[in-house]
A and B are shown apart, each in its own frame.
Chain A
Amino acid sequence: MEYITIDTKRVPIEGEKNILSLIRKAGIDLPTFCYHSELSIYGACRMCVVEDDRGRIFASCSEQPRDGMVIHTNSKKIQSYRRLIIELLLSSHCRDCTTCQKNGSCSLQDLAYRVGVHAVRFLNNKKQIPLDMSSPSIVRDPNKCILCGDCVRTCDEIQGIGAIDFAFRGSETQVMPAFNRDLADTDCVGCGQCAVVCPTAAITVRTNVTEIWDAIGNPNIRVVVQVAPAVRVAVGDSFNIPKGENSFGKLVTALRIMGFDEVYDTSFGADLTVMEESKELAQRLEKNEKLPLFTSCCPGWVKYCENRYPDLTDNISTCRSPQGMLSPLIKDYFKDKDEAENKKTIVVSIMPCTAKKGEILRPDNFTDGMQDTDYVITTQEVIRMIKQVGIQFESLEAEAADMPFAVASGGGTIFGTTGGVTEAVLRRLAKDKSYQNLSNISYVGVRGEDSVKEASVMLGDREVKIAVVHGLADAGRLLDKVKAGEVEYDFVEVMACRRGCIMGGGQPPFAGARTKKKRMEGLYKADTMSNIRYPDENPVLLQMYETTIKGKEHKLFHRHMVEK
């Protein structure tokens, strides 16, 4: 067995590609800014420098391990190198930590403390650069950028978009869109994955917390909130709740304490989506037109398709997303009551997603020319609100959501992870609603973390070919194959973010492999524990289809500009 020695400890080399992985295996959390296991190795931040037995100093992320190497991770020389690197980074960095969005979760702040930088000897003479506030989802503050390039590589390698890149060079280097355009004028889809990897507040999620407190404080406004599936398995992250545990009940309690008037479950909207989307799939299969049918619940994906594959936009389902279906239904539900009480209802949705902030502004998602969802806040923003109030989240008693939009099937809940939409649609289309068939459907191959999953199921006497893809770069490669006629599908589920909404741009950051897995398991567990597994067995929904919704399906649940 080949091995290397890390600070006197023998560590076997088991296929690790770089020394950094071995150091972390040895139980030492070497600091890094620019190293992410899912991205290419860039070696820019130099925080992972180590020294070998010959006194040579190099970055451990970009060095291959060789048998017999002796590595020191914490020599005197290394310590002073790291301190100087941080000091230099801070020398041109905005230092208003106390008022920064990222205060408390900033890697630069954390590492400055860890390596022991308590004063910066250098004057900051960098010119102040204006913020880019053009996007409804993302805020860019170049003054806080440390040029690690994580956002650039995520946008390009994982999402295949490349909206931003480095420009100029040396001390003038900045990360920006081409020609320093506003982010809103680029191909950016607002997925927020750049904000997830950004170690500082150079890229942050645009926040709407103030507007929501204003609404809650106004007695003439009924503030209704809906909570997306993926939020419940991540919100506990910040309150010492085990990773991936379903905290929906606690969140409902917290939202009531905060002053929201009604709390609903977006999974109900997901059930609606399943009903509408399966109807659409069945119709298209029958007519054999506009296939494959692409899912439409992910706004990042919809925008990506419009930008890059405009000729395929007709294939996108005309269904709105679960949020987009539930909000107009809520407003419709309160219409008479609002008039009687002389109140105004506004809908807030808590989403794992930053692109949803853009989705609600799209006119094709409006009903009667009015915006349905008034504000979207992310999981991270609701965590901040909970902390603002001082709610002891972990010790809250769980409560149930409000009727009627509280009853949802397990099929609606698993929307939050890749493959979930497909599985729910298959459950809807299945004739056999037995328990046995549920597990058959879960094994067709739509679950799991593989970037592209293929499955084939029989619906009646027709074989339906399915693909499930997550991460836009992989989606783009799949679409190229579809266009070239190399592959043929009837139904394609796309989620812009890898692993689906559980890893959306609005979720709590620093989720490692274990957390990602736990979040996924958390949603499947919520499904298994659900009394209703098949979306079309949701009694509330079925009753509504017979009464309040009847005849309004198209108006409330479909995008309108698409239907010409």
Chain B
Amino acid sequence: MLEQSYYSKADEIISQHGRTQKALIPIIQDIQSCYRYLPAELLSYVAKQLGINEAKAYSVATFYENFSFEAKGKYVIRVCDGTACHVRKSTLILDKLYKELNLSKEKHTTEDMLFTLETVSCLGACGLAPVLTVNDEVHAAMTPEKVSALIAKLKEEEQ
């Protein structure tokens, strides 16, 4: 059970979008952007409020890569591993990030909840390959050196 404030927030978001079944995705998107993840309890709660089967809501939430039931870090780094980025050595970028942030394929988020590292299949910016995003900010033509500088800068901003 989450704190009551979570449910009040969900109610607020639901009332913004209307209590209709088609509003499920925008509602859970808003919840996710509010908490940086989609708390499982809230998905069940929203499903109930909208009159959707819990299993159906879970089906929707797991279909889209974007939704996460795990809490994410403050900075979500998405490394593109689409064809264009891959041939321009996005793997090296990813490896560098794993090393810098002490993460792995199984561990996506740093202990201090500062960074979450994900790969995506294509960001649609192949001309800028290899590309990554930090939250909504795009970083083009990345190299392992630029990655180190970027992480150092973000860490510095936090102090």
Kindly list chain A residues whose C-beta atoms are within 8 Å of the C-beta of B55: 162-165, 167, 176-178, 186
Interface stretch among B56-64, B77-85, B138-146? B56-64
Within 8 A of B (CB), among A171-192: 176-179, 186
In this assembly, does B53 line the interface, its C-beta being within 8 Å of a C-beta of chain A?
yes
B58 to A165, Cβ gap below 8 A?
yes
B62 to A169, Cβ gap below 8 A?
yes
Q: Can you list 17 A-B contacts with CB-CB less than 8 angstroms, sorted by A residue number? A: A161-B53, A162-B54, A163-B53, A163-B55, A165-B53, A165-B55, A165-B58, A165-B59, A166-B59, A166-B63, A167-B55, A176-B55, A178-B44, A178-B53, A178-B54, A178-B57, A186-B54
In this assembly, does B40 line the interface, its C-beta being within 8 Å of a C-beta of chain A?
yes
B136 to chain A, nearest CB (A): 24
B128 to chain A, nearest CB (A): 26
**A168 in contact with B63 given A178-B44, A179-B40 (CB within 8 Å):** yes
6 nearest A-B pairs in the assembled complex, by CB-CB distance: A162-B53, A165-B55, A178-B54, A178-B58, A165-B59, A178-B55
Kindly list chain A residues whose C-beta atoms are within 8 Å of the C-beta of B57: 178
Kindly report which residue of chain A lies nearest to residue B56, judged by CB atoms.
A165
On B, residues with C-beta under 8 Å from A are 40, 44, 53-59, 62-63
B53 to A167, Cβ gap below 8 A?
no
**A167 in contact with B59 given A156-B53, A162-B53, A178-B54 (CB within 8 Å):** yes
CA–CA, A164 to B54, complex, Å? Answer: 9
Kindly list chain A residues whose C-beta atoms are within 8 Å of the C-beta of B53: 156, 161-163, 165, 178
Q: A167-B59, A179-B58 are in contact. List 12 more A-B contacts (CB 8 A).
A: A161-B53, A162-B53, A162-B55, A164-B55, A165-B53, A166-B59, A167-B55, A167-B58, A168-B63, A169-B63, A178-B53, A178-B54
CA–CA, A169 to B58, complex, Å? Answer: 12
Q: How many pairs, one residue from A and one from B, have CB atoms within 8 Å of each other in the complex?
A: 38
Kindly report which residue of chain B lies nearest to residue A169, judged by CB atoms.
B63
User: Interface size for chain A: under 10, 10 to 19, 20 to 34, or 35 or more residues?
Assistant: 10 to 19
CA–CA, A554 to B40, complex, Å? Answer: 45
CA–CA, A164 to B57, complex, Å? Answer: 11
A40 to chain B, nearest CB (A): 14
A156 to B56, Cβ gap below 8 A?
yes
Kindly list chain B residues whose C-beta atoms are within 8 Å of the C-beta of A164: 55
Which secondary structure dominates chain B's binding surface? helix
CA–CA, A167 to B57, complex, Å? Answer: 9
A484 to chain B, nearest CB (A): 15
Kindly list chain B residues whose C-beta atoms are within 8 Å of the C-beta of A186: 54-55
A162 to B62, Cβ gap below 8 A?
no
**Most central of A161, A163, A166 by chain B CB within 10 Å:** A166
Kindly list chain B residues whose C-beta atoms are within 8 Å of the C-beta of A167: 55, 58-59, 62-63
CA–CA, A165 to B52, complex, Å? Answer: 12
CA–CA, A179 to B58, complex, Å? Answer: 7
B82 to chain A, nearest CB (A): 16
Kindly report which residue of chain A lies nearest to residue B52, judged by CB atoms.
A162
A168 to B56, Cβ gap below 8 A?
no
B63 to A162, Cβ gap below 8 A?
no
CA–CA, A169 to B63, complex, Å? Answer: 5
Within 8 A of B (CB), among A101-146: none
CA–CA, A168 to B62, complex, Å? Answer: 5
CA–CA, A19 to B40, complex, Å? Answer: 43
Kindly report which residue of chain A lies nearest to residue B61, judged by CB atoms.
A167
**Most central of A167, A176, A177 by chain B CB within 10 Å:** A167
CA–CA, A156 to B44, complex, Å? Answer: 17
B61 to chain A, nearest CB (A): 9
CA–CA, A169 to B64, complex, Å? Answer: 8
Kindly list chain A residues whose C-beta atoms are within 8 Å of the C-beta of B56: 156, 162, 165
**Most central of B53, B55, B56, B59 by chain A CB within 10 Å:** B55
A212 to chain B, nearest CB (A): 34
CA–CA, A168 to B44, complex, Å? Answer: 17
Kindly report which residue of chain B lies nearest to residue A166, judged by CB atoms.
B59
A147 to chain B, nearest CB (A): 12
CA–CA, A163 to B58, complex, Å? Answer: 11
CA–CA, A117 to B115, complex, Å? Answer: 50
Kindly list chain A residues whose C-beta atoms are within 8 Å of the C-beta of B54: 162, 178, 186
B113 to chain A, nearest CB (A): 23
Proximity string of chain A (143-157) to chain B, C-beta cutoff 8 Å, 1 when within and 0 when not: 000000000000010
Kindly list chain B residues whose C-beta atoms are within 8 Å of the C-beta of A168: 62-63
CA–CA, A167 to B56, complex, Å? Answer: 8
B133 to chain A, nearest CB (A): 22
CA–CA, A423 to B54, complex, Å? Answer: 37
CA–CA, A186 to B44, complex, Å? Answer: 12
A461 to chain B, nearest CB (A): 42
B145 to chain A, nearest CB (A): 35
CA–CA, A162 to B59, complex, Å? Answer: 11
CA–CA, A166 to B44, complex, Å? Answer: 16
CA–CA, A35 to B65, complex, Å? Answer: 30
Kindly report which residue of chain B lies nearest to residue A174, judged by CB atoms.
B62
